[in-house]
Amino acid sequence: MRLSDFDFDLPSDRIALRPASPRDAAKLLVVRPDRLEDRVFRELPDLLRPGDVLVFNNTRVIPAALRGYRAGRGGTTPKIEVLLHQRMDGQRWKAFAKPAKKLQLGDNVIFVRENKSLAGVIVEKGEAGEVTLSFSLSGPALDGVLAEVGEVPLPPYIAGKRATDAEDKADYQTVYAEKEGAVAAPTAGLHFTSNLIRLLEEYGISTEFVTLHVGAGTFLPVKVDEIRQHRMHAEWGEVSLETCERLKAARGRGGRIVAVGTTSLRLLESSGLAPFSGTTEIFITPGYRFRAVDLLITNFHLPKSTLFMLVAAFSGLGRMREAYAHAITHDYRFYSYGDSSLLFPAP
């Protein structure tokens, strides 16, 4: 398939710059094979069945956006921006640097924010602006300084229109976020409140948690016309044995596995409902046969993005084109801070 197969016109005013308040007041488009239905997210318990299982990604967004300057080479100190996206070990991170052309192996970069600083050395350069940084600190000490020097890395389609502020520290984090390591939020989960989760459990809908540390690669555009030539960036994830056993038992009783977000879905499909710990580069496009997920809760995605390809694989490209056209016409808000959808699989 061609990249153009996944293109559509999206008015710029449909991009949400702030989330709905309260979180569960967002719109919810229910996409079934035979009809579309406009609902509100807090009505989700009425759309699921007792015995269904919601699978949440409990990753926690870290302050991975760093600003600083190159030091110690020549008489210039060019400004450098970095977005961390994959932890290599206690001291090294893979990152996207801008402008990467100003950096060479061995360069020192000093990151500064509000009188706090952190030093790193470029130990590797890759393609498309990717570098590997070795920081002067490691382990918990590094994490502590990153929390002070770094900022919440809002998606580029929001950051390009407004600055990050104090509200984003709470808004761009799910209420159940626990395990630090993501540089982008699993945004389908941003609509859940503690009260809604409690109500779902009262309805007999259970919850399970997996971890996929979302990387900045999720924002990278597809640059090839033949989509199967696109390479996904690796992301680290984990599914426990106990979670797998409970999910399979729920399915055995007739319950459905409901992935909260494409990150949960990609991890569950990578695991095949078997214990999993490692990286995944799974790229789901139309023609993929789903093994582990029965329903999907997800926001509205970019044209020509790998995530729009994924939802097209799940519910059918034609159906998703109809759903997105309906969402645009009916003033749904798109992307990370936007509205949500509940997708049923294509027949």
Number of alpha carbons in the 13 Å side-chain half-sphere of residue 183: 24
Query: How confident is the model over 81-103, as pLDDT tens digits?
Result: 999 988 889 999 999 999 999 99
The type of residue at 140 is P
Which of 121, 151, 181 is the C-terminal boundary of a domain?
151
Q: Rounded to 5 degrees, what angle do the CA atoms 346, 311, 277 make?
A: 110
CATH number at residue 125: 2.40.10.240
Instruction: Check whether residue 128 and residue 272 sit in a common domain.
Output: no
Amino acid letter, residue 68: G
Q: What's at 321, amino acid-wise?
A: R
162 assigned to some structural domain: no
Domain match, 89 and 218 both = no
Q: How many domains does the chain have?
A: 2
From 117, 151, 185, the end of a domain falls on: 151
CA 312 remoteness from chain centre: 17
Where do we find the tokens 């979670």? Answer: 243
Give the pLDDT confidence of 209-258 residue by residue, as tens digits.
Answer: 999 999 877 767 888 999 989 988 889 999 999 999 999 999 999 999 99
The tokens for 140 are 């918990």
- Indicate whether 97 and 220 sit together in one domain: no
Residue 154 CB neighbour total at 10 angstroms: 24
- How far is the C-alpha of 168 from the C-alpha of 161, rounded, in Å? 14
CATH of the domain at 199: 3.40.1780.10
Q: What sign has the CA pseudo-torsion 236, 242, 245, 247? A: negative
Domain containing 310 equals 3-61+168-343
Q: What is the pLDDT of residues 165-217, one digit of tens each?
A: 889 989 999 999 999 889 899 999 999 999 999 999 999 999 999 999 998 77
Provide the pLDDT confidence category of residue 277 given band limits of 50, 70 and 90.
very high
Residues 183 and 249 in one domain: yes
Domain boundary among the residues 97, 116, 151 is at 151
Residues 186 and 308 in one domain: yes
State pLDDT tens for residues 103-150.
Answer: 999 999 999 998 899 999 999 998 888 999 999 999 999 999 998 999
> For residue 329, which of 41, 18, 24, 29 has the smallest C-alpha distance?
29
Helix/strand/coil for 12: helix
- Helix/strand/coil for 304: coil
Amino acid 195 reads: N
